[in-house]
């Protein structure tokens, strides 16, 4: 909706009127699409002041610490919903009624197995490969198996690809883990819930099937909910950009996984544990805090700060509570790494450097600790983030394809050479 207008005055030219668009909540945005006609573009590396698209899925108010999915606060979803219900909400716009939920859960369960031949892909990877390297490969490879649903212009195909991705990600993630361990891969069990089934495929073996702890399954489900979507972050924007060229959904999600891998994004929960290992002991904390504050040192406190949340990360609040529940259930009291994490949290929350810059613990700080306590190896943390975020990525991909869209093609401020002629090799200095 465009009511107000902004005026841009470019020296030596007539003023340009730019419409101001208003969303349901959140700041207004200046529509600069018409600016290209004046021979000018906007310059905004890192998208610090640019809305790349219109979306109805997720709203974040970073200053107030608010995260809404389709209008529902994340705290309520974590408390009163479950992951598959949240998936339905993100994909379809509304929470399901009982019948719709049963139907959706059953459809997802129908698609939990992966093509048997996909297993042979794993043998091409070294067993010590990083699980995210294998995930990028095997998720991209899904496009070679599910040709029957690759027509991106067909809404039914988009739907079935979305369900396939949500259903198969836990299976693939667990296969990646089992391959790294040299253990037999476990088939999914459709009598279990989504989170229970994931823990079953991760930790059970054909010779020993142990029951899954309800507390750990609940914690896992919460981790999935809290990572399900986060509006236009780096990986989601990557999925949208890849999708805007008409690439198939499996290829787009593989691109999202690659973008998520970096330590400034999804790799942060792994980086938290690596950092705790590096710090080693409570007595070294001061040294590392000093490093984090030193402008000449690239070291940052992993799990602290956020591009959008400049007050608190609402997901971190729920995660902290789940963290306490899991540690209680597992009877973990005197874990030195945990003690270190809690001390670090305390110092960072009281140190003026962190307060002035609003560097609060983010969701990855606590999720890393929970995953470690559950017994998930550090290198699998980002894989779990990717598993949970797949529904967000695919919801954004579907949203983009459901209305008119253009291929994403940013402009640039060129500061390289002007045109010049090639000098013959023998004459070059």
Q: Which residues bind ligand CMC (CB under 6 A)?
A: 230, 233, 264-266, 268, 292, 300-307, 357, 359, 362-364
Give the span between the Cα atoms of 82 and 197, in whole angstroms.
Answer: 14
Give the CA distances from residue 109 to residues 69, 113, 120, in Å, rounded to whole numbers and listed in that order: 24, 9, 23
Q: Are 298 and 271 in contact (CB under 8 A)?
A: no
Q: Which is nearer to ligand CMC, 100 or 321 (CB)?
A: 321
Q: Which is nearer to ligand CMC, 25 or 290 (CB)?
A: 290
Shortest Cβ 314–ligand CMC spacing (Å) = 12
Q: Are 256 and 236 in contact (CB under 8 A)?
A: yes
Q: Which is nearer to ligand CMC, 94 or 294 (CB)?
A: 294
Shortest Cβ 289–ligand CMC spacing (Å) = 9
Q: Are 127 and 180 in contact (CB under 8 A)?
A: yes
Q: Which is nearer to ligand CMC, 170 or 305 (CB)?
A: 305
Catalytic residue, from 130, 200, 306, 396: name it: 306
Q: Which is nearer to ligand CMC, 160 or 301 (CB)?
A: 301
Q: Which is nearer to ligand CMC, 179 or 304 (CB)?
A: 304
Shortest Cβ 422–ligand CMC spacing (Å) = 40
Shortest Cβ 30–ligand CMC spacing (Å) = 22
**Does residue 265 carry a catalytic annotation?**
no
Report which residue's Cβ sits closest to ligand CMC: 305
Shortest Cβ 134–ligand CMC spacing (Å) = 21
**Does residue 396 carry a catalytic annotation?**
no
Q: Which residues are part of the catalytic machinery?
A: 306, 364
């Amino acid at each position: 909706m465009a009511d107000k207008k902004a005026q841009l005055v470019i020296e030596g030219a007539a003023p340009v009127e730019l419409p101001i668009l208003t969303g349901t909540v959140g700041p207004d945005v200046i529509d600069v699409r018409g600016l290209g006609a004046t021979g000018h573009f906007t310059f905004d590396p890192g998208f610090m002041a640019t809305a790349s698209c219109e979306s109805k899925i997720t709203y974040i108010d970073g200053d107030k610490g608010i995260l809404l999915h389709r209008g529902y606060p994340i705290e309520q979803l974590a408390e009163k919903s479950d992951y598959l219900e949240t998936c339905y909400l993100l994909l379809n716009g509304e929470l399901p009624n009982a019948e719709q939920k049963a139907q959706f859960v059953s459809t997802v369960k129908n698609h939990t197995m992966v093509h048997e031949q996909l297993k042979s892909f794993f043998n091409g990877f070294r067993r010590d490969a990083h699980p995210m390297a294998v995930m990028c490969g095997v998720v991209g490879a899904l496009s070679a198996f599910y040709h029957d649903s690759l027509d991106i212009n067909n809404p039914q195909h988009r739907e079935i690809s979305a369900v396939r991705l949500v259903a198969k990600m836990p299976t693939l993630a667990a296969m990646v883990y089992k391959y790294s361990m040299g253990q037999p891969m476990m088939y999914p069990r459709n009598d279990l819930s989504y989170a229970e089934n994931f823990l079953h495929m991760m930790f059970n073996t054909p010779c020993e099937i142990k029951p899954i702890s309800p507390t750990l399954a609940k914690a896992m489900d919460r981790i999935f909910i809290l990572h399900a979507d986060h509006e236009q972050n780096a990986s989601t924007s990557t999925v949208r950009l890849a999708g805007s060229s008409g690439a198939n959904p499996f290829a787009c999600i593989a691109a999202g996984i690659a973008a998520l891998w970096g330590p400034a994004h999804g790799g942060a929960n792994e980086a938290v544990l690596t950092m705790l290992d590096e710090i080693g002991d409570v007595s070294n904390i001061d040294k590392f805090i000093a490093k984090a504050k030193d402008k000449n040192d690239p070291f940052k406190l992993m799990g602290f700060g956020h591009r959008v949340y400049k007050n608190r990360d609402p997901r971190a609040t729920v995660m902290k509570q789940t963290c306490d529940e899991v540690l209680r259930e597992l009877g973990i009291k005197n874990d030195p790494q945990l003690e270190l994490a809690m001390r670090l949290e305390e110092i960072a929350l009281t140190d003026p450097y962190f307060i002035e810059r609003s560097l609060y613990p983010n969701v990855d700080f606590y999720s890393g600790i929970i995953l470690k306590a559950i017994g998930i190896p550090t290198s699998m943390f980002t894989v779990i983030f990717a598993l949970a975020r797949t529904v967000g990525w695919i919801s954004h991909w579907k949203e983009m394809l459901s209305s008119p869209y253009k291929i994403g093609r940013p402009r640039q401020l060129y500061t390289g050479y002007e045109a010049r002629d090639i000098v013959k090799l023998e004459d070059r200095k």
